[in-house]
Structure 1
Amino acid sequence: MKILAPHIANLFFYGACQGIDELTLRQHLFDDQLNVCDSNNWVSDKEYLEVLGVLVNKVNNQYFGLYYGSYLNIKALGLIAEISLNASSLEQAIILLQKYLDSTFPFVSLILERNSEHCILRLKCTLEDKLLKNHILDTVFYFIYRELKLMLADEYYPTLQLPYSNVDEYTKLLNATIIKGNSHSIILSNKVLDIEINRKRINEIEYLLPKFLIMLDKKKDGYKSFSLQVRNMILNMCCPELPVFQQLSKQFALSDRTIQRKLTKEGQSFREISDEIKRELSNYLIKGKRIKTQDIAYILGYSEPSAYLHAVKRWDSA
């Protein structure tokens, strides 16, 4: 079984945020010099699982797969933009998602089942290792749910089902009601399949994605190593809204106080880093004149347009 190399690149980048050196993980590749960012390269399922196993054991967090799925938001935005070019309805988008998993990440199958009222997207993984299986399913579940949520209008959001007795952490991170079931499933109304994809949200994503990627690649003067990791984590977690501190802190194997102390030592704070990102995005969006002020405010995490406009005045006067 072959896995597209960028999937393992994502593990390397996430491992760095957990304090795990890339060279440690590369030891598990047959070719430890492989360019894992090249989408023309592949790794074996054995290589991927060994790297994932090292991360899971070192991080030692029962919600590893869930948090890792959250980290992949920027990757999800890229896939959504690509799907939007080739699909007009949700049914077409689901077919493309199925093909994407089958061709690049065949650990997980996306099975579409239908009855008189609902269509159910059921995730299936045949791995024997239950721990790795659940983490992989959690990651893909989060990834797919966020994509569908961005494609749909609010009134068509799906019902989520998970095979766990305690789903509190999932409910908080996914910001959704979750019911107990026998599998990782996403339940939609049958009517949704024929509804056109939410073009407004897709247009926002297609417009913002290049800027997010530029900001990720851009070197930042004055940023030391940990501050840069926090900045890149914020950008990676954008969906396209920016994460709050409570969401970000779960991605590091550190307490909230330790994260704040390390940032202070480097002359930064979460608020300052987040504010700098908001300012750069705000300038980009204002110049583009393609997104309304109230939508810019929402993307940047302001509860009201007036709060965003107040921040713009503060930035302009600084």
Structure 2
Amino acid sequence: MRVFAPYLASLLEYAEYHNLDSNTLIDIIPKHNIDLCDPNEMIEAKTYLSVFDKAIEITNSDYFGLNFGTYLNLDALGLVLEISLNTSSIEQGVYILQQFLKTKFPLVTATVIKDQNHFILQLESAVKHKKIRRHLLDLVLAIIFRELKLMIPKHFTPQIRLPFLEKKCYSDTLKTKITYGDDYQLVLPLDIIKTEINKSKIKEIELLLPQFLVMLNKGSESKNILSNQIRHMTLHMCSPEIPNFEQVQKQFPYSKRTIQRKLTNEGTSFRSILIDIKKELSQYLANEKHLKTKDVAYILGYSESSAYLHAVKSWGKN
């Protein structure tokens, strides 16, 4: 069994946000001169699992897989674009997701189950180590949930069922209701699965993704500075909505107060970082002549055009 090599590169990158010495993890990887960023490369699944297991052990986090899956937002935006190029049907999009797991991350499989009212995607893993299996399922759950949410009409959200009672972290991280079930399941109404992929959301992602990548490259040479780490994490987590402080803070091994103190010592704050991101996106979107002010306001998370215009005015005073 083999895994898409860039997914290991993403894991190594994410580990750095937890102050893990990347060399500790790299030393686990057999020396075969593989370029982990090469989209044509695959690695042995056991290699990925060894690094994944070590990262879980060092961070000692019960939700490493879930948070890592949330960090992969930017990769997910690219995936949903790829799906939209191959089909306009949500049901076909789900089958593409199944194939994506089969060919690139076969450590987890997704099985479709239909009943009278529901279309269910059940996630399973043959990995025997219980703790690693749960983190893998958490990781894929976060990715697939986001893909489905991007594909379906905006007024609907996939329901999640989990085989345990401690649900708060999942509901807080994924911003959705979690119910108890026998397996990891994502549930959609049967009639929704027959509709078209949300084209307006896809166009929004297609517009923003190149700019996200440009913005991520800024300051990449100073990753050891927390304010740059916060900026990078925030951009990675855009879906394309921008995450809030609580969502970003959970990705770091620091309390809210510690992050605020460290950012103050660097002469900034999360609010300032957020404003800078919104300013850059606003300037980029302003060059798109076909977009109306209300469109830009919506993309940047403002409920009304007036709120967006007020924010732009306040930026000019800073």
TM beyond 0.5: yes
Q: Which residue in 1 is equivalent to 2:13?
A: 13
1:34 Cα deviation after fit: 3.1
CA distance, structure 2, for counterparts of residue 116 and residue 303 of structure 1: 37
CA distance, structure 2, for counterparts of residue 298 and residue 139 of structure 1: 29
Relative to structure 1, is the Cα distance of residues 181 and 308 closer, same or farther in structure 2, using a 3 angstrom cutoff? Answer: same
SS in 1 for 2:86: coil
Q: Is the 8 A contact 2:157 2:176 kept in 1?
A: no
CA distance, structure 2, for counterparts of residue 231 and residue 158 of structure 1: 29
CA distance, structure 2, for counterparts of residue 160 and residue 49 of structure 1: 25
Q: Deviations over 1:290-311 (max 9, x none)?
A: 4443342233233433221111
Residue 242 in structure 1 maps to residue 242 in structure 2: yes
Give the AA of the match of 2:57.
N
Relative to structure 1, is the Cα distance of residues 215 and 66 closer, same or farther in structure 2, using a 3 angstrom cutoff? Answer: same
- Flag structure 2 segments of 5+ consecutive residues without an equivalent: none
Q: Which residue in 2 is equivalent to 1:26?
A: 26
1:20 Cα deviation after fit: 0.8
CA distance, structure 2, for counterparts of residue 299 and residue 58 of structure 1: 37
Q: Which residue in 2 is equivalent to 1:304?
A: 304
Give the AA of the match of 1:30.
P
Q: Which residue in 1 is equivalent to 2:205?
A: 205
Give the AA of the match of 1:71.
Y
Relative to structure 1, is the Cα distance of residues 307 and 7 closer, same or farther in structure 2, using a 3 angstrom cutoff? Answer: same
How many residues get paired? 318
Q: Is the 8 A contact 1:16 1:22 kept in 2?
A: yes
Q: Deviations over 1:184-234 (max 9, x none)?
A: 101112112220101000000011001101111223799962211111000
CA distance, structure 2, for counterparts of residue 296 and residue 13 of structure 1: 31
CA distance, structure 2, for counterparts of residue 221 and residue 60 of structure 1: 28
1:116 Cα deviation after fit: 2.0
Give the AA of the match of 1:296.
V
Q: Is the 8 A contact 1:15 1:55 kept in 2?
A: yes
Q: Deviations over 1:74-112 (max 9, x none)?
A: 111010011111111011101111111100000011111
CA distance, structure 1, for counterparts of residue 51 and residue 249 of structure 2: 23
Q: Is the 8 A contact 1:204 1:291 kept in 2?
A: no
Give the AA of the match of 1:121.
L
Q: Is the 8 A contact 1:153 1:198 kept in 2?
A: yes
Give the AA of the match of 2:100.
Y
Residue 35 in structure 1 maps to residue 35 in structure 2: yes
Q: Which residue in 2 is equivalent to 1:84?
A: 84
Q: What TM-score does the superposition give when structure 1 sets the normalisation length?
A: 0.95
Q: Which residue in 2 is equivalent to 1:131?
A: 131
**Aligned pairs (5 A) from 1:243-262:** 243-262=243-262
Q: Which residue in 2 is equivalent to 1:267?
A: 267
Give the AA of the match of 2:247.
Q
SS in 2 for 1:166: coil
CA distance, structure 1, for counterparts of residue 31 and residue 288 of structure 2: 44
Q: Which residue in 2 is equivalent to 1:168?
A: 168
SS in 2 for 1:55: helix
1:164 Cα deviation after fit: 1.3
Q: What TM-score does the superposition give when structure 2 sets the normalisation length?
A: 0.95
SS in 1 for 2:191: helix
Relative to structure 1, is the Cα distance of residues 222 and 142 closer, same or farther in structure 2, using a 3 angstrom cutoff? Answer: closer
Give the AA of the match of 1:190.
L
CA distance, structure 2, for counterparts of residue 46 and residue 283 of structure 1: 45
CA distance, structure 2, for counterparts of residue 50 and residue 166 of structure 1: 27
CA distance, structure 2, for counterparts of residue 238 and residue 290 of structure 1: 23
Give the AA of the match of 1:142.
A
CA distance, structure 2, for counterparts of residue 291 and residue 162 of structure 1: 40
- Flag structure 1 segments of 5+ consecutive residues without an equivalent: none
CA distance, structure 1, for counterparts of residue 175 and residue 94 of structure 2: 22
Give the AA of the match of 1:152.
I
CA distance, structure 2, for counterparts of residue 315 and residue 67 of structure 1: 31
**Aligned pairs (5 A) from 1:65-144:** 65-144=65-144
Give the AA of the match of 1:259.
I
CA distance, structure 2, for counterparts of residue 4 and residue 223 of structure 1: 25
Q: Deviations over 1:142-171 (max 9, x none)?
A: 111111111111344222111111211111
Relative to structure 1, is the Cα distance of residues 190 and 223 closer, same or farther in structure 2, using a 3 angstrom cutoff? Answer: closer
Moved more, 244-253 or 222-231: 222-231
Give the AA of the match of 1:181.
G
Give the AA of the match of 2:14.
Y
Q: Which residue in 2 is equivalent to 1:183?
A: 183
